[in-house]
Amino acid sequence: MSLVALPVLIHLLARRNARRLDFPSLKFLRETPSFRLRPRRVREPLLLALRVLALALLIIGFARPLITSRASAKHSRVILIDASLSMQARGRAEAAREQARKLINKLGANEQAAVLAFTNNVSTLAPLTGDRNLLAKAVEGYQPQSGSADYAAAIRTANEILEPAQQVSGEIDLISDFQQAGIVGATGFPRTGATVIAYPTGAQITRNAFLTDEEVARTALGAEVYATEIVAGEDGRSGARNHWAIEQAAGARSGIEWKTEENGQVTGRLGATEPDDFDADDERYFAFTLPRERRALLIETDADASVFLRAALESALSSGSATRTELSSQRELPRDTEELKKFSLIVVTLSGEPRAGDIKILGDYARAGGTVLVLLARELDTDAWNAFASTEQGAALPFTSLTRFANQLRGFGTADEGAPQLSLMDENSLAALRAVQIHVGFSLSLREGAATLIRWSDNSVACASSQTGEGTILVMGTSPERASGNLGLSPALPALASSILRSSSSTREPVARTIGEPLVLNIAPEDDVTVTDARGNKISARARQLMIVGGKYFAEPGIFRLETRDGAVRFLAFNSPASESERELASAEQIKNYLESAQNNLSQVNRDARGESLERQSSAWRYFMGAAFLLLVVELLYALKRQRTRNILNEISGEADLIE
């Protein structure tokens, strides 16, 4: 900027250009003092000002300045405190509060902060404010809960707080015990323009025992509950599979207590038996409907399909199971649905025209928790069944219409191997199924909510299932009769029957759910549901809300009672994530690597999010260059005008001298 003074010096010291005049004799000239280079007063102040200003603008333009309002922006920080289950370990919660207090006490006069607690959900303890008393009170209200630490959700919420105010200097303070299981290998760290600073807190637990992997199996006398007990200590990990027999409606013994609820479900809790240093995860809760005995009912017809189905079911029932198994057969469905409750699976082949009474019985049986396997015979009346499927009575069927194909070979194509009804079929069984050739069969057009299990080789639907109440109805678009194809002779049929039969005698729902995980309820999304916890506290919500933000309603481990508007009751068990029971905390290097991977993301975000703003701010140099150019033009025009005026005055002065 010192160059700005250069025009002033030149203007003051520069030599004036003399104008040449021809004279016939020197006697007509007066003697004048010789010109000396010396300072003199400013004779053209406006011209000087234009030159100085133009040069200053040129210098500023070449410097390419970045104009920003950073100096006027408030510095804001968001304090994130881990409230997951592991923070209930001795001393960790108070250490987190103390660290938060230190950060609040360091706030300057032009700084503000927000305090958030996070697990799977993020709760605001104090909004963005400069009131230290309010922030301190919020920190005192912090309490660890029972979910897992979701760092990504916490950072996203912090972004939402900082971004509206365009906090260029925003800071996110992350206070956590930083369990190793929560950050090592974690991905999906959200992008943010703020600086993230980690504050590890708490000491590592010496020894912890906890339960995981709860399961239920049917026995001849009732049920058995299984769970794995893990013991983690400084000398490593060990585990044992524990099991408890449930043979009465209610009871208690070492490690378990249970009771039978009003709707027939069995609820209870398990307890770790090994001593440890962390008590918050010692109990695990369960709730289940007692699985049905593995018993099948075959409704026989005169066609040879019944022979093949009987052989397949007998093979499935004798496949090395220790539980009681039985196969029954009848020519007609019982009129009383009570007679069907002892069966886990009913197999029926439909032919001719529909019989509304039979479909109603099958629907009622499925709603009560049973499984129905429906096969379609080749002489089935397609038009009549399509018409029936469109009625209220036919709504239990998974299809809205059937399309018959005949005199052409079709095979089975892709299968949903993850579906419970097919999960026990191995690769050999699936390969045998794909080798089956069908001459006569049906393609299914599915009802909303129905699931495709198997497709034909032309990609149309061959087998589908739909959830009906607590049970399932499956429809196969063919039958084992010889006139329809060679399914009856294939080893795939016994394998398919065995897989379906085993799924029919297993628990329909998880024995327990994990806090914070997506919740699936077989309830209409708009139904009103009343949720009651173990302490008797009630809250009403739509089923859709429970499924979307279940962690808000099921935030603590325990048994919850759900009652729908029509009076249906079910019980759900919720447990803390098993990962929160791991004792290892991340090292400083692991935390650094975790945040450095995030910082790489942050740098990219800073470029992306602020690119447009920075480009706009840094383009100010163009305005300075343009202004300098305009001033130079004005200065030139002004100088030319002044020069022309001086020339005119000099000519007039010269003529006057000649006259004299």
- Are the beta carbons of 261 and 290 closer than 8 angstroms? no
Whether pLDDT at 9 is above 60: no
Each residue's pLDDT tens digit, 406-447: 988 999 999 998 898 998 899 999 999 999 999 999 999 999
Lowest mean per-residue pLDDT among 42-46, 129-133, 435-439: 42-46
The pLDDT of 441-461, averaged and rounded, is 95
Q: What percent of the chain has pLDDT over 70?
A: 83
Picking from 479, 504, 506, 476, the residue whose alpha carbon sits closest to that of residue 398 is 476
Each residue's pLDDT tens digit, 177-221: 999 988 876 666 677 778 889 999 988 999 999 999 999 988 878
Provide Rg for the chain, Cα atoms.
42
| C-alpha triplet 501, 504, 508: angle, nearest 5° | 155
The reported pLDDT for the residue numbered 610 is 36
The HSE-up count of residue 105 (CA atoms within 13 Å, CB side) is 6
Q: Of 28 and 339, which is predicted with more confidence?
A: 339
Lowest mean per-residue pLDDT among 98-112, 248-262, 477-491, 501-515: 501-515
Whether pLDDT at 658 is above 70: no
The reported pLDDT for the residue numbered 604 is 37
How far apart (Å, rounded) are the C-alpha atoms in residues 128 and 110?
13
Kind plus residue range of the DSSP H or E element containing 363: helix 356-367
pTM confidence score? 0.66
The reported pLDDT for the residue numbered 262 is 92
- Are the beta carbons of 325 and 294 closer than 8 angstroms? yes
Q: Of 63 and 132, which is predicted with more confidence?
A: 132
Q: What is the DSSP letter of 585?
A: B
The architecture CATH gives domain 72-205+593-614: 3-Layer(aba) Sandwich (3.40)
Q: How far from the centroid of its chain's Cα atoms is residue 135's Cα?
A: 30
Q: How far from the centroid of its chain's Cα atoms is residue 251's Cα?
A: 40
How far apart (Å, rounded) are the C-alpha atoms in residues 176 and 157?
16
Picking from 153, 200, 137, the residue whose alpha carbon sits closest to that of residue 174 is 200
Q: Of 545 and 168, which is predicted with more confidence?
A: 545
Q: Is 204 exposed, middle or buried (0-12, 13-18, 19+ CB in 10 A)?
A: middle
Picking from 271, 469, 207, the residue whose alpha carbon sits closest to that of residue 364 is 469
The mean pLDDT of the chain is 84
Whether pLDDT at 612 is above 80: no
Work out the angle between the directed axes of helices 620-659 and 45-63 (0-180°, nearest 10): 160
The reported pLDDT for the residue numbered 659 is 57
The pLDDT of 385-412, averaged and rounded, is 93
CATH pick for 294-504 out of 3.40.50.880, 3.40.50.2300, 3.40.50.2000, 3.40.50.300: 3.40.50.880
pLDDT band for position 294 (50/70/90)? Answer: confident
How far apart (Å, rounded) are the C-alpha atoms in residues 270 and 286?
8
Identity of the amino acid at 601: N
User: How many other β-carbons are positioned within 10 Å of the β-carbon of residue 488?
Assistant: 19
Whether pLDDT at 109 is above 80: yes
Each residue's pLDDT tens digit, 517-576: 888 887 888 899 999 999 999 999 999 989 888 888 898 999 999 999 888 899 999 999
Q: Six-digit token pair at 173?
A: 């303070």
Whether pLDDT at 603 is above 50: no
The reported pLDDT for the residue numbered 6 is 54
pLDDT band for position 72 (50/70/90)? Answer: very low
The reported pLDDT for the residue numbered 616 is 45
The HSE-up count of residue 312 (CA atoms within 13 Å, CB side) is 26
The pLDDT of 229-236, averaged and rounded, is 92
Identity of the amino acid at 123: S
The HSE-up count of residue 436 (CA atoms within 13 Å, CB side) is 33
Q: Where are the domains of the chain?
A: 2-67+620-659, 72-205+593-614, 294-504
Tell me how far apart the terminal alpha carbons of the chain are, to the nearest angstrom: 52
Q: Of 194 and 32, which is predicted with more confidence?
A: 194
The reported pLDDT for the residue numbered 518 is 83
Domains 72-205+593-614 and 294-504 equal at CATH topology level: yes
The reported pLDDT for the residue numbered 38 is 52
Whether pLDDT at 281 is above 90: yes
The stretches of 14-91 forming alpha helices (DSSP H) are: 45-63
Identity of the amino acid at 216: V
Each residue's pLDDT tens digit, 623-646: 777 777 787 777 777 777 777 777
Q: Six-digit token pair at 380?
A: 């089935």
